[in-house]
Amino acid sequence: MKSRVRSQVLAGVFTAAVAVGLALLAGTARGDDSPTFNVQVIQPFKVGDRVRMQRNVDETLGDAVTVGRSGPQRQLSEMKLVFSGTLEALAVDGDGVPTRWKVKGEVATVRQPGTKSHEELVKPGTEFTVEWSGAKASVSAHDRDHPLSELATKFLPLVFEASGGGGEASLNRMLRPSKPVAAGASWKIDTKAAVEHLHAFDGKLKPADVIGTARLKALADSDEKEKKALVVEYEYTAKSKSPTGAPHGMTAVGPAVREESGSFTIPTDLSTGYFSAKATIRLVGAFKKMETEKKPVRIRTGLTTSKTVNREIKVEEDAAITEVIKLSTILTYERFGGVDKTTPTSTAARSSSSRNQ
């Protein structure tokens, strides 16, 4: 199977396209004397702000039952992408969402389907630029005298497209509760925002086609009183009768279901803490693909003679596909000359709670 992870399948997971921070603001006091927290997944970036990112992408495309051959067949395709590097915001939009990054790679490798070893995408220290247009990312060499390889151009965008349509900006709108919540509370995701977020999966998706919840699982304390972190879990399902998105090299021929579940931990102090996230995306549906097969073909060899030869031809096949993608991400905020430029200047970087006296 093809190795490219489609951005529409990955939509909704954490990418470096947007800085991630935390707003732990003083919530309204509840009758049970419990503190409440304003869960905010992202913080705005400024030009020049930097973050170090580590990301693993594991894709398994399998359980494909083909139709039209001598019998059912099972296929399995696996791909693993590993990346770490430093990102500097070169341009941001009005909401503080980076639209162009300067990236200095540390580790960037891919293990393609059918191979046992990783191939290097860029050498350590290589600089390149990532630019966003809608939900698509493109990469280009920072130094024109040292162009990126075809392999790097193919796989590096997947690192930054990992959340698809809108990145953390749309994820924040999906998951942010309408009011401060206490530890243990759950709330419904914003399905209208989810439709925008999943546009690449199905451009005609409606809010009624999406259902999901998020919950503040825990408030993790450290030895120091002010260094806390929120642990948030979420899950949602989108059902499409005729999806416009499909695994690479395929087109949908029937309904599909896209499921995602994940959790993330957000620090209150971005100068010392780090953001981490894990997510699993599952796509199940009926798709069509073109396969190359050797089939007997009758050819003319003369005016009255002919013979049968085996030739490679394109054969259309229907398949029931299950695609599972697992992501793990760590973002570490960098310092500049002892001053942390990525720490928000407001109370968003501090935790506080309101209690009844």
Quick: pLDDT tens for 34-89. 788 878 766 678 899 888 889 999 988 876 555 555 555 566 788 999 999 999 98
Contact indicator for 229, 268 with CB cutoff of 8 Å: yes
Q: pLDDT at position 16, please? A: 31
Lowest mean pLDDT among 48-52, 104-108, 219-223: 219-223
Contacts of 34 (CB under 8 A, 6+ apart): 182, 183
Return the SS3 of 81.
Answer: strand
Answer yes or no: is pLDDT of 100 > 80: yes
Q: What's the pLDDT at 324?
A: 87
Q: Are 210 and 191 in contact (CB under 8 A)?
A: yes
Quick one: what percent of the chain has pLDDT higher than 90? 27
DSSP 97-166: -EEEEEEEEEEEEEE-TT-SS-EESS-TT-EEEEEEETTEEEEEESSTTSPPPHHHHHHHHHHHSTT-TT
- pLDDT tops 90 at residue 296: no
Interatomic CA distance for residues 282 and 163, integer angstroms? 14
* Rounded distance between C-alpha atoms, residue 160 and residue 153, angstroms: 12
Backbone φ and ψ for 202, nearest 5 degrees, come out as -155, 110
**Which amino acid is it at 293?**
E
Q: What is the DSSP letter of 196?
A: H
The torsion defined by the Cα of 112, 132, 56 and 244, in degrees rounded to 10, comes to -60
Alpha carbon 20 to chain centroid distance?
A: 14
Does residue 160 surpass a pLDDT of 70? yes
Share of the chain above pLDDT 70, in %: 66
The two structure tokens encoding residue 132: 């966003």
List, in order, residues 6 or more apart from 109 with CB less than 8 Å away.
81, 82, 118, 119, 120, 121
- Token readout for 323 is 């695609």
Residue 6 has pLDDT above 50, yes or no: no
Confidence of residue 22 (pLDDT cuts 50, 70, 90): very low
- Over residues 172-194, the mean pLDDT reads 89
User: Which amino acid, one-letter code, is at 24?
Assistant: L
Helix or strand (DSSP H, E) at 54: strand 50-67
Provide the 3-class DSSP secondary structure of residue 197.
helix
318 Cβ partners below 8 Å, 6+ apart?
66, 67, 68, 253, 286, 287, 288
Judge contact between 89 and 97, C-beta under 8 A: no
Q: What does the alpha-carbon distance between residue 143 and residue 318 come to, in Å, rounded to a whole number?
A: 44
pLDDT value for 108: 96
